[in-house]
Amino acid sequence: MSLKSPKLWIVATPIGNLGDISFRAKEVLSKVDVILAEDTRKAGIFCSLIGIEKKKFLSLFDQNEDKRIHDVIKLLEEGKEVAIISNAGTPVISDPGYKVVKACREKGFEISVVPGPCAPIAALVLSGFPPIPFSFLGFLPRSKGDKKKLFLRFKDTKSTLIFFERKSRIVDSIKCLFEVLGERKVCIARELTKKHEEVIFIDSTDEIEKISHLKGELTVVVSPMKNDEKKPSIEEIKEIILEKINEHKTTKEIIKELMEITSGWSQKELYKMVLELK
């Protein structure tokens, strides 16, 4: 039996720059008996880089989390201290660990957190968008239909949105975002805290393909609907369209101007109305 008090630690690790590891995080990881990690190989390399050697690791990922609940509770019952880390940032947030924490809490074990780096928060404060309220959506669904359903839930909210997306799907996801949410400003952050940190801003008038070159895991922040935004009625929109048609504006020019002076209507909806009235 260990002389230590059984405890589960939730420990945040750097999202890129190793210099962001806190003294307390390093201290806790040095003393615990077992470290739960998504990728034990990466966790071993990380610990070695910060001067922690010969630790016992257990894998914790989506497919084995239910099984790990039993293992962690057994370790705690033996008086051991256990830490959860993710590949980067704060565990449990869009990473495995929630079920383990919940089960340990229900069993009455002591749980502590060592706070630290968190990609969604880092991107939010870099964006310059309103920080309160915000909604974190995690990783977006793969299919366009499911993405649309998710975005529709937030279409009329005045909340800044944050989500993760992979490079292979970023263009399609941003197009879907504008299609559902209409005119919004978007901040895409990559390589946060690293040497080549990059923050890119786009809106629905930009050529979306320009972000197709981005690499790595991307954190996306979407500006909220403006407080003074009021969705014009379809009659009001049609009246504006007819005026611009009479001014001999092209469809592209009409859409661009409508996106600048109206809110609540997606580019696709406006395009359809313009074609019907021409």
- Predicted confidence (pLDDT) per residue in 175-187, tens digit: 999 999 988 999 9
- What pLDDT sits at residue 225? 81
Q: Which DSSP letter does residue 183 get?
A: S
- What pLDDT sits at residue 58? 97
pTM, 2 dp: 0.78
Q: Which DSSP letter does residue 13 get?
A: B
* Half-sphere exposure in the Cβ direction for 152 (13 Å, CA): 6
Spans of the chain, pLDDT less than 50 = 1-2
SS3 190: strand
Q: Which helix (H) or strand (E) holds 47?
A: helix 40-49
Say which CATH topology domain 120-222 has. 3.30.950
In CATH, the number for domain 7-117 is 3.40.1010.10
Residues in CB range of 222: below 8 A, 6 or more apart: 129, 160, 161, 162, 163, 177, 181, 184, 185, 186, 187
- What pLDDT sits at residue 4? 67
* Half-sphere exposure in the Cβ direction for 158 (13 Å, CA): 7
- What pLDDT sits at residue 207? 86
- What pLDDT sits at residue 120? 97
SS3 175: helix
- What pLDDT sits at residue 137? 96
Backbone dihedral region for residue 138 (phi beyond 0: left; psi -120 to 50: alpha; all else: beta): left
- What pLDDT sits at residue 2? 47
**CA distances for 62 relative to 41, 74, 81, 92, angstroms:** 17, 20, 22, 11
- What pLDDT sits at residue 228? 52
Residue at 219: amino acid letter = T
